[in-house]
Structure 1
C-alpha cells in the first residue's frame, strides 16, 4: 500500500508513534523515526528491519528549533523528499490546577505538543511539495473539550487542532493535506498511571481504553488518501464520546 513512500514520525520510540511507524513499515512504507532518546529509537528501527521493513533514525527534540532544522536538513540531504509527516510527539505531564502548577512544566507541555508540531510542519513543507503529501497531527479529545487540572495539555491540543485547520488552508494548493487524528484514551507508558487498558474509562463510561496498535489502522487510512483530492482540515476520531 505504501511502497516507495516515505514518512517521518515524531515520538516514534514508543506508544502511538511506534505503532504507526511499525504499521507503515509493515505496509511497505519507508519510515524515518524521530525521538529524543537514541537507544529506544534504534531498538524500534532494528525491530522494523528484522520484520523486513525499512527504517532510519533521527534523534531530535521537536521543541528545539535548531534540532528540528538540523534534522530536516539531514532528511533532505539523505532522501530529498517526504510523502508524509506524523506529528505524534507530545504528552501532558503537568496535571495540577493553575496556581498549584509549575509554569516551566506547563510551558514545556505546550512547546512539545503545539510548537513542536509547528516546527516540524514548517520544516517538512518544502520536502512534501515535490510530490504532495500528508501532515497528520495526533490530537486529543482534550483539545476539543475543557477539563480541570490539565490546562497545559488542553490548551496545547486545542491549539494543535486550530493549527491543523489553518495550515490545511495554506497548503492545499501544494497537494498537501493536513488532518488531525484523535485517538481517544490509549494505554501507554505516559498514561499508565491514569487509566488501565480495557473497559471502563474512569471518567467516561462509554470509552474503551485502547492499546497503541488500535490507533494505527485509522492513521494508515488517512495517510492512504490521495493528498490532492482527499480530506484536509478534518479531525478523525476514535473516541467513544461526542467531542466538539
Structure 2
C-alpha cells in the first residue's frame, strides 16, 4: 500500500475506535491487527499471488478471531452474569427514547435520525444550516405509515457557540422532554491541503467545531441528563481520522481534534465512576454516561471532497459505506448500550478483514467505485458534485459526517 493511500486511509476515518476496556482480549489470545494487514495489502497493480497472500492472511486472522470470540461467547452465554447483563440491557432501553443528533441535516447524522424515527423514537436534529428540509423529508417519508410512531424536529445550532448550544438544549426539552441519547456528530475537516496552505481561520474553525464544540455540547448534555430524575443518559462522541494517533497528512487540524476525543471521553468516564480526588461526588437526580462512536468511512462530503481517483479506488472503494448502512448497524447498538465508556464501531476488524477477502481473494468489485476511481451512480438517484448521493430533495452539505 502506498504512503499516499495509507495517509488517506487515516484521513478518511482510519480503523474503528478501540474496543471497550470493559471487554479486553486475553493476554494469551493473539490479537488481530487489521492495520498491519492493510499496510501489506496489494495495490491495484499487484500480482495475483500477492493478492492471494494478503487474502490468506486476512482469512486466517478472521477465522482465528471468530474462533476465539466464539469460545468466549459460549462461556459468557452460559454464565449467570451474562444472562443478568442481557436482562439489564433490555430493562435499561427505553420503549420510546429521546435523541439529540448534532450535524443531523445530511450524511450519517441524517441517516441516524431516519433510523431512530423508523423505530418509533423522538428525535431532535440540529445543524449549522436550517434543517427544516431534512425534518420535513423524514416526516413525509413516514406520514402514511401508521406503524411508524417516531417524531422529528430540528433547529439551527452552531456547536462552537455556547449560547447556541444552550438554545438547542431548551429546544430538545420542549420537543422531546427526556433526552436519553445525545450524539455529537457535527464536524468539519477544513479541506485536504498542506497545513501551511490552509488559512488560519479555517484551522481555528476546525478546532472550535470538532473539539471545542464537542466539549461544550457534552458539558451541556451531561448537565441536562443529571437533572433528569431516575434516568441514565448516554453521550456519544464521534471519532474519525487521527483517533489512533497515526499521521493524517492533508488533515492536520482535523486529525488533531479527533485524537483528543478518546482522552476526553476516558477522563469523563473516570470522573463519573471515581470522581475527582479531593472533591466529594455530589449526588444528582439523574446520571450521564459517555461513550465513543466510530462510523468508519462513510460516503459523505467529509470523505469525498478533494478526493482523487486513487483514493476513491482504495481505500474508499473497499472500506467505505453509505450513511444508511452505518445507521442500520449503529442505531441498535446505541439503543442497547449500558454502563459507561463503551466504544461502538461500524468498521470492526472482522468487517475490514472480510472486505479484504472479498476484494483481493474473490476479486469482487466495489458497488460504489468503478475501476477508474469514479463514483458509480445508481439509476434514478441524484448526486452532488463530489459524488455524494442526495438523501432527500433539497439536501445540501451540513456540518455532520
TM-score of the aligned structures, taking structure 1 as reference length: 0.85
2:61 is matched with: none
Displacement after TM superposition at 1:222 (Å): 3.0
Hey, what's the Cα distance between the residues in 2 that align with 1:218 and 1:107?
33
Structure 1: state its 5+ residue gaps: none
1:88 aligns with 2:185: yes
Instruction: Flag the 1:164–1:222 CA change in 2: closer, same or farther, 3 A.
Output: farther
Instruction: Flag the 1:96–1:209 CA change in 2: closer, same or farther, 3 A.
Output: same
Displacement after TM superposition at 1:182 (Å): 1.8
1:238 aligns with 2:339: no
Larger deviation: 115-124 or 96-105?
96-105
Displacement after TM superposition at 1:133 (Å): 1.5
1:20 is matched with: 112
Instruction: Flag the 1:195–1:209 CA change in 2: closer, same or farther, 3 A.
Output: farther
Displacement after TM superposition at 1:27 (Å): 1.0
Hey, what's the Cα distance between the residues in 2 that align with 1:56 and 1:7?
11
2:157 is matched with: 60
Q: Give 1 or 2: higher helix fraction.
A: 2
Alpha-carbon displacement from aligned partner over 1:152-194 (angstroms, at most 9, x marks no partner): 1100111122212222223358643322122222111333335
The CA RMSD over aligned residues, in Å, is: 2.7
Hey, what's the Cα distance between the residues in 1 that align with 2:232 and 2:94?
14
1:184 is matched with: 296
Q: Of the candidates 104, 109, 129, which is equivalent to residue 201 of structure 2? A: 104
1:166 is matched with: 267
1:117 aligns with 2:214: yes
Hey, what's the Cα distance between the residues in 1 that align with 2:304 and 2:174?
39
Q: Between the two structures, name the one with larger relative contact order (CA 8 Å, sep ≥ 6).
A: 2
Instruction: Flag the 1:3–1:200 CA change in 2: closer, same or farther, 3 A.
Output: farther
1:209 is matched with: 320
**Partner secondary structure for residue 262 of structure 2:** helix
Contact 2:294 2:343 in 1 (8 A): no
Alpha-carbon displacement from aligned partner over 1:104-155 (angstroms, at most 9, x marks no partner): 1012111111111111111111322221121111211432222212111100
1:154 aligns with 2:251: no
Instruction: Flag the 1:226–1:208 CA change in 2: closer, same or farther, 3 A.
Output: closer
Q: Of the candidates 71, 75, 87, which is equivalent to residue 172 of structure 2? A: 75
Instruction: Flag the 1:72–1:152 CA change in 2: closer, same or farther, 3 A.
Output: same
Contact 1:6 1:84 in 2 (8 A): yes
Instruction: Flag the 1:226–1:90 CA change in 2: closer, same or farther, 3 A.
Output: closer
1:135 aligns with 2:246: no
**Partner secondary structure for residue 196 of structure 2:** coil
Hey, what's the Cα distance between the residues in 2 that align with 1:163 and 1:219?
22
Larger deviation: 8-17 or 121-130?
121-130
Larger deviation: 172-181 or 146-155?
172-181
Hey, what's the Cα distance between the residues in 1 that align with 2:321 and 2:108?
10
The structure with the largest alpha-carbon Rg is 2
Contact 1:138 1:180 in 2 (8 A): yes
Hey, what's the Cα distance between the residues in 2 that align with 1:27 and 1:189?
27
**Partner secondary structure for residue 301 of structure 2:** coil
2:4 is matched with: none
TM-score of the aligned structures, taking structure 2 as reference length: 0.53
Contact 2:298 2:320 in 1 (8 A): yes
